Amino acid sequence: MSEFEKTPLNKVIRGSKRATYDKAQINGILDSHFICYVPYIHGNTSIVIPTAYGRKGNQILVHGSNKNRMLLSLLDQDLASLTVSHLDGLVLARSVFHHSVNYRSVTVFGKAHLIEDRNEKMEALEIITENIIPGRWGEARIPSEKELNGTLVVAIDIDEASAKIRDVGANDEVADHDLDVWAGVLEIDTLPGKIVRNTDCKPGVPTPESVKNFNIQNHSTQSES
């Protein structure tokens, strides 16, 4: 199946013309970011925590300390969700009302499972690390058994998902087109910046390939409306 089924849970109600349920497109958005926002129920409210992730097939993998409240709460919930979102630009219309942002956002719903098998945990940590910065797993010292034992790894099934994408120019009311107000998009770029070597880094160790090749480009090609 190349599309997620529309259900009461994942169906986009507001701005439904920007919605997509296409699996390839949803996976494309998931695979081009590495921070997801995971909400969990806590008492009479819910709390959201940003955390690193990787994708393995139809699961999102996250990790943390054995005492991580967010992860432990997710495991207690019947259903987990998470959102991944790229901010691609500011949409500046002639009217304040039609101001918006361009973005690519995915929301995933599914059950959270504890990964207990030692090899599956190690593989999950490799997938998360490689999703953040490809090539780094092979450069760094991999986790020891003690470190593995101190790490909670959780897989969240991508049972239901939907995306919302806005990637066009400003859409003003026709009555406003004659106003002497500029309209357009100010793109926002997310880019690798300065490389800051640790002062305690062993002399002679060169900047690794993973760092030199790192590329984070958070916006899709943008067409005008």
| Amino acid found at 7 | T
Distance CA 216, CA 192 (A): 6
CA neighbor of 157 nearest in space, from 59, 39, 11: 59
Contacts for 90 with CB less than 8 Å, ≥ 6 apart: 99, 101, 102, 185, 186, 188
Which of 101, 123, 127, 157 binds its own copies (CB under 8 A)? It is: 101
Residues 151-180 touching its own copies, rule: CB under 8 A, are: 151, 169-170, 172, 176-180
Distance CA 76, CA 72 (A): 7
Of 116 and 200, nearer to its own copies (C-beta) is: 200
Angle at 93 between CA 92 and CA 98, to 5 degrees: 110
Phi and psi of 163, rounded to 5°? Answer: -125, 155
Which of 3, 37, 72, 220 binds its own copies (CB under 8 A)? It is: 37
From residue 104 to residue 143, the character string flagging contacts with its own copies as x (rule: CB under 8 A) and all else as - is -x-x-x---------------x---x--xx--xx-xxxxx
Q: How many residues bind its own copies (CB under 8 A)?
A: 102
Of 75 and 211, nearer to its own copies (C-beta) is: 211
Residues 15-34 touching its own copies, rule: CB under 8 A, are: none
Of 55 and 63, nearer to its own copies (C-beta) is: 63
CA neighbor of 40 nearest in space, from 72, 17, 11, 2: 72
Distance CA 179, CA 97 (A): 14
In contact, 30 and 84? CB cutoff 8 Å: yes
Of 2 and 119, nearer to its own copies (C-beta) is: 119
Least distance CB 74 / its own copies (angstroms): 10
Distance CA 182, CA 178 (A): 10
Residues 176-205 touching its own copies, rule: CB under 8 A, are: 176-202, 205
Which of 19, 72, 127, 216 binds its own copies (CB under 8 A)? It is: 216
Which of 1, 17, 45, 119 binds its own copies (CB under 8 A)? It is: 45
Of 2 and 43, nearer to its own copies (C-beta) is: 43
Residue 1 near its own copies by CB under 8 A = no
In contact, 158 and 58? CB cutoff 8 Å: yes
Residues 58-97 touching its own copies, rule: CB under 8 A, are: 64-65, 67-69, 77-83, 85, 87, 89-90, 92-97
Which of 5, 7, 16, 46 binds its own copies (CB under 8 A)? It is: 46
